[in-house]
Chains A and B, each alone.
Chain A
Amino acid sequence: MRRCAYRPVVLVFCAITCAAAAGCRLNPVTGSRELALVSQQQEIALGHQTHPNVIFMYDGEYHDPELNRYLGTIVMRLHACSHRREMPMEFTMLNTSVVNAFATPAHVYATRGFLARLQNEAQFAAVMGHELAHVAAGHTAKQLSTNLLTGLVLGVAGSAAGDSTGSRVAVGLGEASITLLGLSYSREQERQADRVGAYYMALAGWDPQQAIEMQRLLASMSQRRDTVLDRYLSTHPRTDNRVMEIQNVVQEKDLRSNRYVQGDGTYAERWDRRLGELRSIDRTFGPHDRGMELLDKSDYAGALSAANESLDMRADQPPFHRLKGDALLGLGRLAEAQAAYLEALAQDRRYVPANTGLGFVFVKQGKFAEAEKEFAIAAHGFPGSVAAHYGLGMTRYELGRYAEAVAPLEAVAGARPNDPDVHYRLAVCYDRTGRPADAYQSYQRALQSGLTGERKNHAQRRVRELEPLVSA
């Protein structure tokens, strides 16, 4: 029977119409109805799913329970003033020098680099108020709804074109959570978050003038070409517009009146006292951050020297030991690398990037069973880690456990579509587990991605042998 070429188009527009009709809900911030195809429960589930990925995309949690209690109390005080105070909320500090703060549903994050640079408590309240406003105004849900519909279109169109790539990419790696991290808000949404965030901080007792001072602080850091600011500045509008937006709402709602501001409204002394230790630790990350750049350039000796420089200042930071391990691994000093990774885990046994490093040490030693255990821990702790999934798939492949190697390798193949090694290993796994059609396709992908040597000959032979089976 002939297939109607426009059937997918009709399907998509029916889906959009139904979704739009069913998905409008009241925005508690503005009181107007807006499209939202994602329920609050779904939002929260996605936020939780994203959480471990966020932590390790930013190099782990910054552990200081007392500071967490202080900052978390500030966040919860702001959240109690928000339009969605019924939503559960967790505050997490991230142990990176990158300057950033952001929220996902039910989670709000601030980096060590950002906290070290803020001048007082009110500026922190301004940053957190802004992020809580994104959650309250449903910006995340709205972006997800758009992505959902766009994905629907691509999915229907892809299936109409007979493309199985979509389903393959969807395997593993917590794709939805990675999508959530990649979301960026429109300028209009950022401006709304500025207005609403200033309102929240005033309701909670801080002086909203500090929201303006915080913008000026960011602008001055930006003029000094502070590279760690890149991420935050690239996702937020220019300072002038933001200052004007905040000034407008302060005036409209009279937010600097005694009705709102409590005490001096800034609490700089309290902030300096509480943040002293974090600022001191932040300074020891200078050589480490330089070492990470050297590692990227495969300058292992330079990276090792930088790691040792940081370790001479403090030995309790897992990322310093991990950098040392990575550098030693690059230099082929496996026993020392293993010791460095184990020391990182001794400092924080949840620091799974060290498990990935240990896995690669064991791989180089030919100890695949031990390596597999480390990669399994790493993939469990950091579901978005391509390296951990690659290690897991590769070690299972080497151990001849082809059926178990399929899922992690499929996940990596989605993330690295042009990696011939991954496609070849996946093809062999399909081949050995009775999936000739998938094997045929993966051998072809491996060849198209530039497979070389003996594997190339093997792949070409298997493509020829499998072709009659597949075409039949």
Chain B
Amino acid sequence: MARVVPILVLAVMFCTQVGCTISREIVDVAPPVQPRLENLEQNLTYTDPDEGRPDYIFASR
């Protein structure tokens, strides 16, 4: 069994690569209308999804 395992792992890695050569194609994207880049500072819209209180926060000491 010990000899079979590395062969199986290699086989799986090979199988997952078959037919998956990366294409150079880039499908065109039509981005949404956004404010001009020159005006970025007038449109700082990003808000931290957890508002600076991430999942790992816990009751204060």
Contact = CB atoms under 8 A, between A and B. Distances in A.
Given A73-B45, A157-B5, A352-B56, A204 B31 contact: yes
Nearest to A373: B61
B12 A153 contact: yes
Contact of A48 (B13, B15, B55): B55
Contacts of A200: 29
A291 B15 CA distance: 47
Nearest to A23: B16
Nearest to B49: A90
A184 interface: no
Given A12-B8, A154-B9, A90 B48 contact: yes
Interface string B25-61: 1110101101011101101111111101011111011
B36 A65 contact: no
A44 B32 CA distance: 23
A195 B26 contact: yes
B40 A20 contact: no
Interface in A143-178: 145-146, 149-150, 152-154, 157, 160-161
A377 interface: yes
Contacts of B47: 69, 72
Contact of A149 (B12, B37, B38): B12
A88 to B, nearest CB: 7
Contacts of A146: 12-13, 16
B36 to A, nearest CB: 6
A153 B56 contact: no
B13 to A, nearest CB: 6
Contact of B40 (A8, A142, A270): A270
A82 B29 CA distance: 7
Contact of B1 (A65, A157, A189): A157
A161 B29 contact: no
A390 interface: no
A209 interface: no
A77 B34 contact: yes
Contact of B49 (A88, A206, A262): A88
28 contacts: A8-B1, A16-B15, A31-B25, A32-B25, A35-B16, A51-B55, A51-B56, A52-B55, A55-B54, A76-B46, A80-B32, A83-B27, A142-B16, A146-B13, A149-B12, A150-B12, A153-B8, A153-B9, A154-B9, A157-B4, A157-B8, A161-B2, A188-B21, A200-B29, A204-B34, A267-B40, A350-B57, A381-B57
Interface of A: 5, 8-9, 12, 16, 20, 28-32, 34-35, 48, 51-52, 55, 61, 63, 65, 68-77, 80-83, 88, 90-91, 142, 145-146, 149-150, 152-154, 157, 160-161, 188-189, 192, 195-196, 199-200, 203-206, 249, 253, 262-263, 267, 270, 345, 349-350, 352, 377, 380-382
Given A70-B41, A267-B37, 18 more contacts: A8-B1, A28-B27, A30-B23, A35-B20, A68-B46, A70-B44, A71-B46, A72-B48, A77-B34, A83-B27, A83-B29, A90-B50, A142-B20, A146-B12, A149-B16, A154-B9, A188-B21, A249-B26
